[in-house]
Amino acid sequence: MKQLLYSLDPENFGGLQEKYTDYAKSKIVVVPIPFDSTACSSPGQRFGPEALISASAGLELYDEEIDFEVHKEGICTTEHMECVRANVEENNLRIKKILQEFLDDGKFVVTLGGDHSITYGILSAFAGQSKLKPFSILQLDAHADVATDAEGSKYTHACVMRRAREDFTDSIVQVGLRSVSKEEIEYNKENIFLAIDLRKNFEAKIPEIIARLKHENVYITFDVDALDPSEMPATGTPEPGGLHYYDVLALLKAVCKEKNVIGFDCVELMPLPGNDAPNTVAAKIIYKLLGYKFKFLK
C-alpha cells in the first residue's frame, strides 16, 4: 500500500529536501514578500512568491550550462512576510528589519515579490551593511520607475529607483526600458540601455552594460516585465519588445563573473490562473542566477 502513495514536494524554493534547507547551514536565504498595495493597473503580485516557490519545485536542480548544483550550497526559504498592506513605508521598514538579520548572519539574500515598491525596503537593509557598500544597482525593467511621486506617495513601485538613487547609490544601470518618458531618460541618461537599442545584438552590448556599473558590488533588481510578454505575460504592466530568456541569462552570468553580486530580488510577477509557464520562467532565472553567483564566486 505504502508504495502507491507519494508526498508533495516540500514548500520551499527548489522543493528541496530538509538537508539542504537548514538555516544555519544555508548560504542562501529566500524571503517571500507578498505585497502588492502599490500596483496600479493590475494587482495580484502578492501571489508571486507562492507561485515562484511552487514552480521552482519542478526545476531540474543540476545546471547543465555551468555543470553546477547550487542547491547544495543550502537554500533556506523563510516564511512569507506578514505585509502592512495599508502603508508602504511601514511595509518597507518591516522588510528592512527582517532582511537585516539575515545579512548580519552573512547570508546571500534573495527576495521574492511582490510589487517593485519592496525594493526600497530591501535596499535599506543592504545599505545598512558597511561591508556591502558602496554598491551599484543593475535594474532589469520595462519601465524606469523614477517618478518623483505617484498616487500620493513617494514610495510606490513607480518611484522606487528615484528613491534608491537619492538614498542608497549614485550608480543605477537600467536595462530593457521601453515605456519611458523623455525626462526619465534624461534623469539617468548614460546608464540606460533601451530595449530598442539592445534588440539586434544583445550579447555584444553586455561589456558596455557592465562597464557602466561603477562599483564592484552590484545589487540586481529583476522586474519580470523586462522580459518580452511572449515569455512573460504574467505581469501587471506588460510592454511589447522586451528582453529574451537567453539574453537575460547571458547578462546575469557576465555580471556574476565580473562583479561581486551582493543580492537580488525578483518582482512584479502576477500569476495568471491556468498558465503556470511564466512562473517557471521567472523561477528558473532566479535559480540560474544563484548558480552563476556561487559557481563564479569571487
Our finding on whether 141 is near Mn ion (CB under 5 A) is yes
* Beta carbon nearer to Mn ion, 76 or 147: 147
Of residues 236 through 295, those in contact with Mn ion by CB under 5 A are none
Q: Minimum distance from CB of 141 to Mn ion (Å)?
A: 4
Q: Under a CB-based contact definition with an 8 Å cutoff, are residues 95 and 121 in contact?
A: yes
**Which one of 71, 107, 116, 295 is in contact with Mn ion (CB under 5 A)?**
116
* Beta carbon nearer to Mn ion, 36 or 141: 141
* Beta carbon nearer to Mn ion, 278 or 291: 278
Whose CB is nearest to Mn ion? 223
Q: Minimum distance from CB of 298 to Mn ion (Å)?
A: 27
Of residues 68 through 107, those in contact with Mn ion by CB under 5 A are none
Q: Minimum distance from CB of 227 to Mn ion (Å)?
A: 12
Q: Minimum distance from CB of 115 to Mn ion (Å)?
A: 8
Outline where 213-268 has alpha helix (H).
245-258
Q: Which stretch binds Mn ion (CB under 5 A): 45-53, 60-68, 103-111, 115-123?
A: 115-123
Q: Under a CB-based contact definition with an 8 Å cutoff, are residues 273 and 56 in contact?
A: no
Rounded CA gap, 141 and 145, in Å? Answer: 9
Q: Please work out the total of residues on this chain that contact Mn ion, with binding judged by CB under 5 A.
A: 4
Q: Minimum distance from CB of 52 to Mn ion (Å)?
A: 16
Q: Minimum distance from CB of 92 to Mn ion (Å)?
A: 15
- The CA–CA distances, whole Å, from 36 to 46, 80, 96 equal 5, 14, 17
Q: Which x/- pattern over 191-220 shows residues binding Mn ion (rule: CB under 5 A)?
A: ------------------------------
Order of strands, edge to edge, in the sheet holding 192-194? Answer: 75-77, 28-33, 108-113, 260-267, 217-223, 135-140, 172-177, 192-194
* Beta carbon nearer to Mn ion, 63 or 145: 145
Q: Under a CB-based contact definition with an 8 Å cutoff, are residues 154 and 164 in contact?
A: no
Q: Minimum distance from CB of 157 to Mn ion (Å)?
A: 6
Q: Under a CB-based contact definition with an 8 Å cutoff, are residues 2 and 48 in contact?
A: no
* Beta carbon nearer to Mn ion, 141 or 239: 141
What 3-state DSSP class applies to 192? strand
The secondary structure of 104-147 as a DSSP string is HTT-EEEEEESSTTHHHHHHHHHHT-GGG-SEEEEEE-SS----
Peptide bond into 134 cis (omega under 30): yes
**Which one of 36, 63, 115, 145 is in contact with Mn ion (CB under 5 A)?**
145
* Beta carbon nearer to Mn ion, 63 or 141: 141
- CA 83 to chain centroid, in Å, comes to 18
Catalog residues that contact Mn ion under the rule CB under 5 A.
116, 141, 145, 223
